[in-house]
Amino acid sequence: MNPEGQAFVVFSVGMLVLMGIGMNMALALVLTGAGMAWVLGFWDTQLLAQNLVAGVDSFPLLAVPFFILAGELMNSGGISRRIIDMAQAWVGHIRGGLGYVAIGAAVLMASMSGSALADTAALATILLPMMRQQGYPMATSAGLLASGGIIAPIIPPSMPFVIYGVTTNTSISALFVSGIVPGLVMGVGLIFTWKWVLRRIDLPSGQPLPMAQRLRATVKAFWALLMPVIIIGGLKTGLFTPTEAAVVAAFYALVVALVVHREMRFGDIRGVFVRAAKTTAIVMFLCAGAQVASYMITLADLPSVLSQWLGPLVDNPRTLMVVMMVVLVLIGTALDLTPTILIFAPVMLPIAVKAGIDPVYFGLMFVLNGAIGLITPPVGTVLNVVAGVGRLSMHDVIKGVNPFLLTYVVILALFVAFPQLVIAPVAWMR
């Protein structure tokens, strides 16, 4: 076997083995990258170190820690809770109303933080106890909250879009715009699925709140609702870049939490920064490790091997997209969203572009597929968050998420069949 074939075996088998024994994903990427360097004859510790640094030495990636910080400040400063309170004031009285509250809050919160884990944790922490108290089936409720949480990587601002844009040199602003319509479609899909699920659940309806209370809840959420307007408006007008938008979001959330809502004290800031720093370290270590593996994948010329496999489909873009989406669905069952982007996006995008597929459209489909993987067993990172917060078994959460997972697969197929649903809004916004 030639060195390139050996490198492919080292990467594929090495990742499977290291993941199987539960090794940290970033460390597994570094080790498999080092193994590929060894069999390719490029072993050099200085080269490995340079790639580790290059993986995080990017100005656009600065958006990641600031969006993470913004999410932490939202949860600690009462912004997320006010969004949920407003949604409950308007639709909480409907039969199964807390489910609709979860969907509405998930869409609104997605337009602020861009983190599936942060949004899911906030939704589950606040709403799951309320659902349990009112007799909602916990498995189905947990599945709904997990499904709502993964809207965050699609609606701008989105951290996965930032990582994808940096990794593939695609316009992050265009990616942000591409996620608006699909994110709203995901929310509508959850509404119809929840309504269908409710047919088999006996839940009482409540009395609608007086208009004065609804308006009061909306006024309390005013500063939270203003946040996505500032971010998206600033991006649309060119007032700031996506990286600068992340800084604006974090600063805005800090001011609202300290000065407006006054639910945070200066002494609480340290804890918020520490939590954000820990999450940032995990993401950045993934970026660094993936750069090592990605560099060695390029040296081994594995992209050309994949191109040869998919070459016959280049003349049929629709079939190529179907095959790529199926491959990514399978990958999503084992890999988290960030490593999926870092490893496979640079390999697949050139093939898609060669077939005439719009790179922004492909980026949206890639991230959407990876987001669905967050609620796909056996890994399902978001499922683990909901199970942990709600103290539920993974088996119950997986069972509860199935109807919503099926809805997302249908939505994915819809966008494959009708790419203009994504491409047209991007062209209009531009």
The tens place of each residue's pLDDT in the chain, 430 residues long, gives 677 778 878 888 888 888 778 788 788 889 998 998 998 888 888 988 998 998 888 888 888 899 889 888 998 899 989 999 999 999 988 999 999 999 999 999 998 878 898 889 889 999 999 999 989 999 999 999 999 999 999 998 899 999 999 999 999 989 999 999 999 999 999 999 999 999 988 887 888 999 999 999 999 999 999 998 888 888 878 888 888 988 999 999 999 999 999 999 999 999 999 999 998 998 888 888 888 888 888 788 776 777 777 778 888 999 999 999 999 998 888 788 988 898 889 889 989 999 999 999 999 999 999 999 999 987 788 998 999 989 899 899 999 999 999 999 999 999 999 999 999 888 876 6
> Phi then psi for 94, rounded to 5 degrees?
-70, 150
**Domain ranges, ordered by start, for the chain:** 3-429
Q: How far apart are CA 347 and CA 338, in angstroms?
A: 15
DSSP H or E stretch at residue 321: helix 317-332
Distance spanning both ends of the chain, measured CA to CA:
49
Q: How far apart are CA 116 and CA 113, in angstroms?
A: 8
- This prediction has a pTM of 0.89
The four Cα atoms 335, 339, 345, 347 give a dihedral, to 10 degrees, of: -90
The four Cα atoms 134, 140, 141, 145 give a dihedral, to 10 degrees, of: -170
3-state secondary structure of 107: helix
Cβ contact 159:115 at 8 Å: yes
Instruction: Classify residue 319 by burial, with Cβ atoms within 10 Å: 0-12, 13-18, 19+.
Output: middle
